[in-house]
Chain A
Amino acid sequence: MTNTVAIHEPSPVPVRKANRPQWLADRTATQLVSAGLLAALAVFAVAGPLVWPDHALQDLSRFLEAPGPAEPLGRDHMGRSVVARLAHATQLSLVMAVLCVIAALLFGTLAGIAAAWCRGWVDSVLHGLSEVFIALPALLVVLVVSAIANGDLWTLCLGLALAQWVEYFRMVRARSGLVLAGPAVQAAGLLRLGPAHIVRRHLVPELRPLLTTMATFGVGSSILALSTLGFVGIGVRPPTPELGLMITEAFPFYHEAPWMALAPVLVLTTILIGLLGLRSKESRA
């Protein structure tokens, strides 16, 4: 048996720190550092390709050139600028990952709310569909989709989104089901407040913290998945620079030019640490 003492004291109203905007005052130091790291990467991904536009220009006479003032990361085995390739690859990874997550999140969330709201056959169909996707290995889904459409970038993105929507769907369906069955929504129904109120005041505030956390993890895992596919040679086609592909290409020359392999690894690590540090506590009701 447990003995609990309840202290009847309403939880305190949050007090703002003086002279700091709310969004800043709510953040922890870890979150600020992580946001800084990610912002630096984003600048690199946006500005890098403008500074070093030519990632495919080969100069075999500068084969495996060591880093220097003109080429901060040297040149690769084909004499291409590593920093230019890295900038393009980072941009590609970030854009692709964000697109995947947006697609998966939108579809998963809408389907989840629809299933919890309509129940009945809508729920059965969507739930059955989600179970089919759970039974299939994610890699297989991606491979099948990209094989059908001959490995274009958008099919890769679509494949990853198809592999990821299920977790959003299942989480949103379970949470929304609880919220929609609760007395707060029942009261809103008696007050004739309409579906817009229920979505805006009940569902979204309840789902948002969870979805934000899942989306940050989702961006990380999409970037890893993309580079994994690149690493095993079935993702983005060469010569398009991609982080996983760059690691694979750099491996044979690891002893001669370790910076070539370490640079994309460093970018991946920074992205993941940044995303992990960014997530906030799940519930702050």
Chain B
Amino acid sequence: MSLRLNNLVVTHGGKVLVEAPRLDFERGQPVTIVGESGSGKSLLAHAIMGTLPPNLAARGTLSVDGLSYDLGDQSNRRRLWGRTMSLLPQEPVLALDPTMRAGEQVAEGALTFRADKRGARRAADALLSSLALGQASRAFPHTLSGGMAQRVAFAAATIGGAPILIADEPSKGLDQRVRAELAQLLLSHVNGGGILLTITHDLDLARELCGDVLVMKDAHVVEQGASGQVLARPAHPYTRRLLASEPSRWRYPWMRSPLGVAEADAGYGPAAETPGAVLVSGEGLTKSFGSQQLFSDLSIQVRAGERIALSGPSGSGKTTLGNVLLRLLPPDAGKVRHADVLKQGRLQKLYQDPALAFPPRIQLKDALGDVVHRHGLDRARLDELMGSLRLAPELLHRRPGQISGGELQRIAIIRSMLLEPALVFADEPTSRLDLITQEETMRCLMEQVDRLDCALVLVTHDDGLAAAMTDRSIQLGTACPLPDLQYTGG
């Protein structure tokens, strides 16, 4: 089994989106492609599978076991799907059919499914049991956690015995623990003699997978080599920048974590020594959804100028706790008190998906203009913030759907900073962004937080990010394990 890619070019109109002269994939040697959003790494995977969108054109050849396939023809690899190569899609929760039970979906992928449905179901159940999902076979996808859905998708992708597995951003939205499990799964495929191509912007996943790493930027592979080499001693400036954008390597004046303080020269900000006034206090908070208890009898105080991380695995109730503290959601028991300084909009929230936090059909200048008018602010303040967050003023003439996620999140930061908040609640504001964009966005946020000396509550499942940005962390969901599966049938 060998896989070789020759002279791949993917174009849209006249624009080159991916260009790769020659790539070899071998058994037992995982290949990981890293790079920022828009660098063409996902398209490379889809060009190999033959699942490019119809408005893109591909050239080049793919040889699988000595057989050559023209990449310009999308359909000639269709019969390889499932038996020779398979794709582990992005966001498995969306990729699984919500109307089918997990086991049945996996069984459909078995090569014997048409001839012997019963046997295929048995094979699916066996595979799911080996992934510690035996009980989930009868469950519907929406009752599964992100990690479980990822394992179901993995089972569906590998049940056909395809030796070539392409994983497209498999760790998107997964926390560290689940990501480590995922890496083990992918490595088990490699150890079984398979070929693995992983597309990711998660450098930790690339490290865990070892093997070869390709770094892509602007449609080209700028650096390639063993992961130990590339990720430890990068040669290309872009790779260096990519590595430097990991939160654990940040060095900024606004950082006050032990990490920054350890290397503190005079420039680093001091840790908050004198405790400020209490802004938000929650006592005896309890909240559950259905039979699932998220937290109980939890007491929290947020003081002025504090930076707190709410961390914990997906589904542990971080966002819910934040909404309870913001009084956007009533707790089942307990009380939340807000200090008077938080009145008049001095309590702001940043959302995971900024596109949903703006009115979709309204130009941004009107959406922000309403804030300026309503609170009688100076219009120049908005322009000044646009400048200090390194955003072009023309962006305001667009609608939220017409600018990139990173830029829109920075505009959301501007919107929340217009009112000079005393407390900002940031709900995974960068979990959908790649590392470099994350660094830029967080830098903008923290420069403003530092300038106003406002308190920050950051929800994140990335411990590195929490350590870089906050003074202390509140762990959720460690006491209670993930909820039991809810069964909807037999």
Is B367 on the interface with A (CB-CB < 8 A)? yes
Residue of A nearest to B349 (CB): A190
Is A193 on the interface with B (CB-CB < 8 A)? yes
* Cβ-defined contact, B367 with A285, below 8 A: no
Residue of B nearest to A7 (CB): B53
Residue of A nearest to B397 (CB): A13
Contact with B along A191-203 (1 / 0, CB 8 A): 1111001000110
* Cβ-defined contact, A183 with B356, below 8 A: yes
Residue of B nearest to A209 (CB): B361
Residue of B nearest to A192 (CB): B345
* Cβ-defined contact, A5 with B43, below 8 A: yes
* Cβ-defined contact, A201 with B402, below 8 A: no
Residues on the A chain within 8 Å of B52, using CB = 5
* Cβ-defined contact, A1 with B347, below 8 A: no
Q: How far is the CA of A202 from the CA of B358 in the complex (A)?
A: 9
Residue of B nearest to A283 (CB): B361
Q: How far is the CA of A197 from the CA of B419 in the complex (A)?
A: 17
Residues on the B chain within 8 Å of A8, using CB = 37-38, 404
Is B452 on the interface with A (CB-CB < 8 A)? no
Residues on the A chain within 8 Å of B367, using CB = 201
Given that A3-B49, A8-B38 are contacting pairs, would A190 and B360 also be in contact in the complex, using a CB cutoff of 8 Å?
no
Cβ distance A125 to chain B, nearest Cβ, rounded Å: 24
Given that A1-B153, A285-B399 are contacting pairs, would A190 and B345 also be in contact in the complex, using a CB cutoff of 8 Å?
yes
Residues on the B chain within 8 Å of A3, using CB = 46, 49, 51, 87, 89, 95
* Cβ-defined contact, A201 with B366, below 8 A: yes
Given that A10-B401, A13-B398, A186-B349 are contacting pairs, would A191 and B371 also be in contact in the complex, using a CB cutoff of 8 Å?
yes
Residues on the B chain within 8 Å of A2, using CB = 89, 95
Q: How far is the CA of A265 from the CA of B58 in the complex (A)?
A: 56
Contact with A along B354-376 (1 / 0, CB 8 A): 00111111100011001100110
Residues on the B chain within 8 Å of A10, using CB = 398, 401-404
* Cβ-defined contact, A13 with B402, below 8 A: yes
* Cβ-defined contact, B105 with A186, below 8 A: no
Given that A1-B153, A10-B401, A11-B401 are contacting pairs, would A285 and B345 also be in contact in the complex, using a CB cutoff of 8 Å?
no
Residues on the B chain within 8 Å of A193, using CB = 370-371, 374
- Which residues of A (138-160) have their CB < 8 Å from a CB of B? none
Is B415 on the interface with A (CB-CB < 8 A)? yes
Is B326 on the interface with A (CB-CB < 8 A)? yes
Residue of A nearest to B328 (CB): A186
Residues on the B chain within 8 Å of A13, using CB = 397-398, 402
Partner of A187, one of B89, B90, B357, B398: B357
Chain A residues close to B by CB (< 8 Å) = 1-13, 182-184, 186-188, 190-194, 197, 201-202, 205-206, 285
Q: What would be 9 A-B contacts, judged by CB atoms less than 8 Å apart?
A: A1-B153, A5-B46, A8-B38, A10-B402, A13-B402, A192-B419, A201-B370, A202-B359, A285-B401
